[in-house]
Structure 1
Amino acid sequence: MHRNGQVAKQGDRLLKMRGKLDRGPVEFKSHIVQQEGEVMAIATRDVISVPPTQSIISAVATMTDCGFRRLPVTDPGTRKLRGIVTSGDVISFMGGGDKYRLVSVRHNGNLRAAVNESVRTLMTPKPETLPRNARLLDALKIIVGKKIGGLPIVDDDGTLAGILTERDVLRMLAAEHSPLTIEDVMSSSLRVTAPDSPLSEVTKDMTRFRFRRLPVISDDVLFGIITATDIMRYLGSREVFSRLETGHVAEVMALPVRTLMAGSLFTTTPETPINEAAREMLSKNIGALPVIEDSRLVGLVTEFDLVRGFSAE
């Protein structure tokens, strides 16, 4: 505990520079969108969804196999939207938040039993949505204003018609010229963790501070990055069950995060133009880039930061 606390303080000391972007209310340019229904032009129309009766483990496996961070839950016959499961819900379920009660209370810590509950017990009901005729400006106000990474698109009767993610928006906005650099938009005051931090601590930090990723610092050096997707993949691939002997969730949550981290690590620098960073994220299919200066971690830039940067110009 002392070592982890020490590392966190070191990370705080490293990451106190502030970006130049004013992080107050975003004034959206009127030229971004003038036509109704434009979200459908960039949204995914053929949306994969699961029924409310599907098991949690099966739903998370679908997210893992497809590389999704969110999965709509719909009625199997009508395709009417009933909720959405996000990587944040999975992190909460794994020990970070109130959805952990499904494991700890209802199933007395038995993870094997908990993951076979229906996904309706895990999903977020009545999620924020967009109508089919929504403008991109409408979507940006929700994504940036409410920090929501994906919005289901529904018809008037509630039928799922598509889904729009911040990555879809970034793909379009990245084609526009921007004078901004990474330093202008990056997050600089970050929480960090250590390679040997247990999964239980990381999921709690992610849930409490609404982070999808944490830099992993060892002796002032960037060791890697742990993401909600890494943790979700651990459950969705069913690798988690190979580590269970008693079936109790504590066996899993004691695992050090270094064992879950993806192998590749891509970084950027403060002076990199945001258009270049956007192209890098899209081509590498990653959601964030640690920002390195003089061999030190000085910040983190995410898809959300870039979308907000493009929108705020």
Structure 2
Amino acid sequence: MKRQQTTKPRITMVGGALDRGGDKLNAHAAIHHGDIFAIATERVVTVPPTTSIMSTVKTMLNHGFRRIPIADAGTQQLRGSIVCRDIVDFLCGGPRHSLVTNRFDGNILAAVNEEVREIMETDVAYRYTDSSIEDVLKLMKEKNVGYLPILDKDESVSGIVTEQDFMHLVAGIEVGASIAEYMSTNVTTVEPDATIGTTGKLMIDNGFRRIPVVKNDILLGIVTAFDILRFLGSGEALTKGATGIDDALSVPVKTLVGREVVWTTSDRDVGDAAEMMAENGVGSLPIIDDGVLTGMLTERDFVRVLTTSRQ
């Protein structure tokens, strides 16, 4: 495959810069009890469970978030979580979509005004403020999640750690392992005329957060769960779905692809890949060898990179 030549809620702030040191991978990920705030973000944006789905989406868009903890407004005690894929699930035919079809008979304009607790995930993995980086790495790998809220002794949200934080730990470090050792090789793609509904359902059914868009063996771009979140939050889904959710979901996915593709080859060091992703603000890299799309490397793979380095 060739590359085309050319990409009103109540918000509570709980009060990080990434503290990176050393020039080797293990120096960047030195393990000490309670050291999680060396990389965690301490000022966390949360929304209460009573916030509407649309207001939650807009908060995520305004901050560029792919996930947000749901917490009580007063105590900041954790009640749930929303990630981009939950919104794709809600919009594109996953279990949460029953809120649209069953309760509101396909009326997306009414459904998005429901409280976010109707679709939030309540079984949320978390760690405490005295946790180590190693504790968090192990749990994120075990649960296969992209972030963990960090709670204090009162069960209140005190911080957040994401897979992006671990990607930054690796960025620019010569790890001594190639991208080929960590990338996914079974890559599912869609054509540009595939609908948003079909693409979103493919994400939900397969646990994807991003899918390459391909035509005639040319990689046109990557569509992500955040792109579909933006489609809803921008109001376009509501406009096109004014007469029913099916009209909104029939929009071609190519309308969501807008930025030039950043890619690399499988023989590069994973530290180089992390640096490319950090510099370009992307959560994944298509891997193209000899003009063929051979794999995908994502931020979550860096959790595996670091857990492997500790073994």
SS for the counterpart of 2:54 is helix
Say how many residue pairs are matched: 286
In 2: Cα distance, 1:236 partner to 1:95 partner: 14
- C-alpha offsets along residues 211-244 of structure 1, whole Å, 9 cap, x if unaligned? 1001111112212111001111111122222323
Residue equivalent to 2:160? 163
Residue equivalent to 1:270? 266
- C-alpha offsets along residues 178-216 of structure 1, whole Å, 9 cap, x if unaligned? 111111211111211111111111111111111100111
Q: Is the 8 A contact 2:178 2:267 kept in 1?
A: yes
Correspondence for 2:101 among 104, 108, 122? 104
Matched, 1:121 2:118: yes
Q: CA deviation at 1:310?
A: 3.5
Residue equivalent to 1:84? 81
1:153-302 superposed matches below 5 A:
153-174=150-171, 176-246=173-243, 248-302=244-298
Tell me: CA distance 1:307–1:148, structure 2 relative to 1, closer, same or farther (3 Å): same
Point out the structure with the larger helix share: 1
Matched, 1:69 2:103: no
SS for the counterpart of 1:152 is strand
Give TM-score scaled by structure 1 length.
Answer: 0.87
Q: Is the 8 A contact 1:221 1:297 kept in 2?
A: no
In 2: Cα distance, 1:38 partner to 1:173 partner: 17
In 2: Cα distance, 1:30 partner to 1:260 partner: 40
Q: CA deviation at 1:106?
A: 0.9
Q: Relative contact order: is structure 1 or structure 2 higher (C-alpha 8 Å, sep ≥ 6)?
A: 1
Residue equivalent to 1:48? 45
Q: Is the 8 A contact 1:178 1:310 kept in 2?
A: no
Q: CA deviation at 1:38?
A: 1.1
- C-alpha offsets along residues 9-42 of structure 1, whole Å, 9 cap, x if unaligned? x99xxxxxxxxxxxxxxxxx99954411111121
Tell me: CA distance 1:174–1:263, structure 2 relative to 1, closer, same or farther (3 Å): closer
- Gapped runs of 5+ residues in structure 1? 1-9, 12-28
Matched, 1:138 2:125: no
Residue equivalent to 2:36? 39
SS for the counterpart of 1:230 is helix
RMSD of aligned alpha carbons:
1.9
In 2: Cα distance, 1:245 partner to 1:117 partner: 17
Equivalent residue letter for 1:68: F
In 2: Cα distance, 1:32 partner to 1:216 partner: 35
Tell me: CA distance 1:31–1:43, structure 2 relative to 1, closer, same or farther (3 Å): closer
Matched, 1:309 2:272: no
Q: CA deviation at 1:177?
A: 3.2
In 1: Cα distance, 2:193 partner to 2:28 partner: 48
